[in-house]
Structure 1
């Protein structure tokens, strides 16, 4: 197989780990902004005939999209054999329907645009709600990796705890984690009036008296679902509450509010760089990346 090189747009800790997993060097480039806000970019590594892997978490995507496109297209322009995108967190999946007349279906617009600049996509737990797969909007080969097994492994062996899913949509996900980790779980009922107006109600927790509660979610964005979950658990006098999630966006600095609300531990993967990162997703990304590269080389 042709040589590979990995580049980081904004995911240095994950790229350092992936570089070891894939046994490939980290590419170097120089970027900065001109006084008028335009971007400057210079690739410093030799990339001709090289499979280039760009890792970029796409939380807060508006400020990252142009720098990402400049990086992807410059690598191609300099003769890279392929340019793939590893986006541990994939944005613009929320608006998958025109709910009100005149709305942009931004998930389709974003996917069609991004597909024009990459040869393949690898991502972790994208928000597939009305779409059955990314193939419905992305026109390039893609691999969706599940983060649940990593959370299950982190939980495995931890005694005297039970898992909490905030709503019915999370039940299938939570049950698969609980099956591997060996813990009991409960599922709440969520009533969402708006992005920041959420109420979670929990079933009777009498069977879990004296146990630690671990709230499990795929994404923590505004954090209001988790805050409501903490409040509901406190009504049952749960003394120790932890939270684990795959993606930690923590809009408006809500991570500080979560700790202040009573979390004893906040755990995320390094899909988005944050002090709460305690679970490395590189081990589950390496194989899908190698599979994509093998297909590009015409290997089964």
Structure 2
């Protein structure tokens, strides 16, 4: 059977909605129908994962769309087992498209006798047969160095910049970008430069993980529409406290632009009842029905970004070009008008 000479997609169960959206975008770009590879990813009664690929993939350039979000262990195992199935079926090259990279917060040893799980996960992915990783907003950029294979880390900030310019076009002069902690200043500064806005910082001090003891605002936010920028929101406790603090310091409105909506536990309820005017997340993680129903949570699509990145990876052209407005704006034509 002849090769398709097109990128081929296969997906686990972690985010089928995004995988199908990427396939549709690829079909538009290529001018032909590109569907997800016909396969089944199922569980036996005892919870073991089983994968069977029904199409010939010999020599093909395969892209596995599978974020390793909650349940992280199941989704990670699905990714590894799909990879093994493709490798044993003589796939030409295997690229893991991991919109959300789980275990990224365990990227260093913070105290004695603790693991660096992000490195362990990187080793497992490489050993399984993955030859390239395509991801979005790694929690720590040094995780790219944990892999001995190429890692393309895409950024949500260019897409967020388009969204902000669209939704705040009448009041861009009032925007203040806020980093929720000192460690996130580089990420916030990148967005601030793109929209030509000033930068403020919320300095938080933790007594123990998950509990914030004290928060201080560095910079004047009075009368500003504050935009908090971060890579992920989990239980949303710190985010909602930051919103309260900014409002107490005279902010006119508080919005949040966060790449990965983990939103576990009481997060959605907290956001609903918070002083946040809006929380904007990407679709890197499959949103629950509760998230979709929340009136102040909005989801921006990443399928245009990932589809173009897959095409660029497949044909050997620059992925970093997607960080530039002149490349990105046409991809989101009809969605935003910057």
Structure 2 length normalisation: TM-score?
A: 0.78
In the alignment, is the contact (CA less than 8 A) between 2:201 and 2:219 conserved in 1?
A: no
Taking a change above 3 Å as real, the CA distance of residues 113 and 21 of structure 1, as seen in their structure-2 partners, is same
Residue 192 of structure 1: how far off its partner (Å): 1.9
Structure 2 residue 69 is matched with structure 1 residue 48: no
- Stretches (4+) displaced over 6 A: none
Counterpart residue number, 1:284 = 305
Confirm or deny that 1:150 pairs with 2:164: no
5+ long unaligned stretches in structure 1: none
- 2:88 — aligned with what? 77
Gaps of 5+ in 2: 28-33, 318-338
Q: Is 1:27–2:37 an aligned residue pair?
A: yes
Question: How far has the Cα of 1:277 moved from its partner?
Answer: 5.3
Kindly indicate whether residue 245 of structure 2 is the aligned counterpart of residue 232 of structure 1.
yes
The 1-side partners of 2:265 and 2:43 are apart by 25
Distance across 2 between alignment mates of 1:101 and 1:147? 34
Equivalent residue number for residue 127 of structure 2: 116
Contact 1:270 1:277 in 2 (8 A): no
Q: Structure 1 residues 205 and 18 mapped into 2: Cα distance closer, same or farther (>3 Å)?
A: same
Gap change, CA 1:264 and 1:100, over 3 Å in 2: closer
Distance 1:213 1:98, change over 3 A: closer
Aligned alpha-carbon RMSD (Å): 2.4
Query: Do structure 1's residue 6 and structure 2's residue 9 form an aligned pair?
Result: yes
Match of 2:181 among 160, 164, 167: 167
Q: Compared with structure 1, are the counterparts of its residues 240 and 280 closer, same or farther at alpha carbon in structure 2 (3 Å cutoff)? A: same
**Alignment partner, residue 293 of structure 1:** 314
Residue 245 (str. 1) matches residue 255 (str. 2): no
1:187 deviates by 1.5
- Rounded to whole Å, the distance in 1 between the matches of 2:190 and 2:113 is 39
CA contact (8 A) 1:189 1:201 kept: yes
Alignment pair present for 1:200 and 2:215: yes
Whether 1:36 and 2:46 are equivalent positions in the alignment is yes
Distance in structure 2 (CA, Å) of the matches to 1:241 and 1:170? 17
In the TM superposition, what is the alpha-carbon distance from 1:67 to its structure 2 partner? 1.9
Contact 2:9 2:36 in 1 (8 A): yes
- The answer (yes or no) to whether the contact 2:192–2:198 under 8 Å persists in 1 is yes
Counterpart CA distance in 1 for 2:190 and 2:49 is 44
- Distance in 2 (alpha carbons) for counterparts of 1:16 and 1:52: 15
Q: Does 1:137 align with 2:146?
A: yes
Q: Would you say how many aligned residue pairs link Structure 1 and Structure 2?
A: 291
